[in-house]
Structure 1
Amino acid sequence: MTISSKEAIELEKKYGANNYAPLPVVLERGEGVFVWDVEGNKYYDFLSAYSAVNQGHVHPRILDVMIKQASKLTLTSRAFYSDQLGLAEKMLCETFGFERAILMNTGAEGNETAIKLARKWGYEKKGIPANEAVIIGVEKNFHGRTTTIISASTDPVATTNFGPFMPGFEIVPYNDLSALEEALKNPNVAGLWLEPIQGEAGVYVPQDGYLKAAQELCTKHNVLFMVDEVQTGVGRTGKLLASDYDEIKPDMVILGKAISGGFYPVSCVLTSSEVMDVFNPGEHGSTYGGNPLGCAVMMEALTVLKEEKMTENAFRLGEVFRARMEELSAKTDLLLGVRGKGLLNALLVNDSEDSKTATNICYKLMDKGLLAKPTHGNIIRFAPPLVITEEQLEDCITIITDVVMNFEK
């Protein structure tokens, strides 16, 4: 069935629900760093489905594995074993350096799983009194949109008219060790839960050493250090995990998005045997979690990431991109600078959070063949697939430069 962009947008408005505020482009096909709309217009994808498509759109090796597995077995539920799950768990543990893995589907489910693990560990291992466990979160966090997760949110868009909220969370400022240390004095704290770089908040990068110091404080107070790497993991920041920059090993890592290359929803929590073994049969699970199709796709997605050196490419080209954006920012009052690591970066627009300037810049970029999205009004996030070449990146820098230098508010 052939459908126009206008028709597709009208159908979503009529039969769907308000979700994001998408750019008015209707995508039909993708390959590598490119996507095409239904009218055949070609664009650079500089969002990568919020870093779910690190390996590029429709990577042929992942596609081939998905087709082969889908033709054999897609779903068993966890009522039975499959020939893929153990292999997938082994690869996850060996790749990221953990003892145990539990597979779910979405990033939100991964974070929910981590919360349950931390609480149960707190009661059974740390000795916290029943129903008094506390998990410390940080301001401007984003871990998903379930009712439990938004109970720890400080974003009014996430919380307004969605209460009542789940108790058991205490919120401290991000990148503030003194506030964290004070909160950790509570003996009922089971976990510290944060993103190593706050993506949705606008690519906020903490000071060097913050994560390492936070982990040391958690160790001192017998608290689990829970790191949400759903968006920052799997090579996006130029390291396999963003927390690798501080040379630490968290007690828990939550992964999702790019561990399956954008083909199929897969998420996981990685942790130690001591923590994972607090789960007994029947206490946590998912019909689709760890299904054979997802496992096969995930293993190939991680394999191509490693073999094609995408993480190393993200580190090198991220340095190039930020240097060029700093040069651009020095030439115009429209920009305040750039921040990020690897190929997760944010361009800061010199305007208020309630302005439309960043959005209007993104519309101009779209007209020039580059898709990016604003966040919090005056920040534009740039996160292309990690398969992007230096030549393609230079082409994109030219587009961004042209739009910025010729932009009129």
Structure 2
Amino acid sequence: MNRPRGIARGRAAMIAVVVVCVGYAPVAMTELWPYAHPGAPAIGQSLLGHMVSPHYVATALATRIAPYRHSLAAMIVHSVLGGLLMLLGPIQLLSAVRRRIRLHRAMGVLFAVTVYVSMAGAAVYLLRTAPRDAFSGAAFWIVLATILVGTVMSVTFGIGAAVGRLPELHQRWMLLCYGFLMTAPLLRFEWGALPVLFPGLSMAEINRIAVMHLGSVVAFGALLASRALDKRATVPGVTGSWVPMPVLAVAQLAAAGALVWITTAYLGWGAQGHRLLAGYLVPWVATYAVMLWRQRRAGREGRTWAREEWRLHLVALCLAPVFSLATVLPLERAFGLDRETAMSAGVAIGCGMLAFWATAAVSVRALVAREVLKLQQKSEAEGDRMPAAAVQAP
């Protein structure tokens, strides 16, 4: 009974992703038209105005005129190609699932080139925009820069895995890359949805809450998709675990200590601090609970490879709050930030960055397993040749 339910959930998730991507594509492509030609239609702004209020949208966008016009050509390239990526992503996913290899490869080349050019446009904007001038402040600038680097590195590693004929690793890196790209439509969705929970807040304040968990949500979604597509119970060459129970226990204790520190800090920052804390802590706890349950269930069912991947990501999730705290002082010094802004930036990027390194750890685990298997096969082949040589000896 579990398998049909799992298949149904997987199809539902795939349909949801396709609908979101196809629906967001025209929003992304037209988002900056009014800055180039005042009065030009902008689908996203119109929808958001109807969902919340025209004042909510107008107040937020009024502060964007100067920063966007300063890098308008680069931003238009970024947004138009970003819309194209929203269309290419579902094509890549469906062609991979249906094993349309030629289509997948051809669209994959287009996808990779589009990612690089689109991210180059975003990089021009970030380089020309001071962190304090970014929408909702410097913390968002740091989040955008981190997503940009994560996207470019993920697609690069995905290309390397494809060239190296490592389809499972290629799949993981490309799903993570697309997860980072999905931060754009999901952020717009939260701009419209969160005012229901927090009425009266400006879009800038809503944005600060949303980015507290956006990286962790998309990285977790990429992990769920990877695990759903990888049906292998075991992987030859993988024995034992790189994350034994004592290591997992220490990571969880470190997470508890860091979360207490973060919670104490945010509770002292008034109502906005409470909202930011909720925006971070609730998704983190939910993600932790799912990962803990999944790795335990995989262990009980004897699916050692699934358990290992879940554990590596669980440790990364536990270390994310520790990493976030470790970045506060460097961010303060590097960008001249106050403690609250620096901590918000560190917390916002922690889960996404550690998920990236967890994916790298899974990749290294798989590569080590492949080398171990090669050595075993070589040793067995040499062992088979030795008796024959012994018989021929005088």
What's the TM-score once normalised by structure 2's chain length? 0.27
What's the TM-score once normalised by structure 1's chain length? 0.26
Structure number with the higher strand fraction is 1
Structure number with the higher helix fraction is 2
Task: Tell which has more relative contact order, 1 or 2 (C-alpha 8 A, sep 6+).
Answer: 1
Q: Give the greater-gyration-radius structure (CA).
A: 2
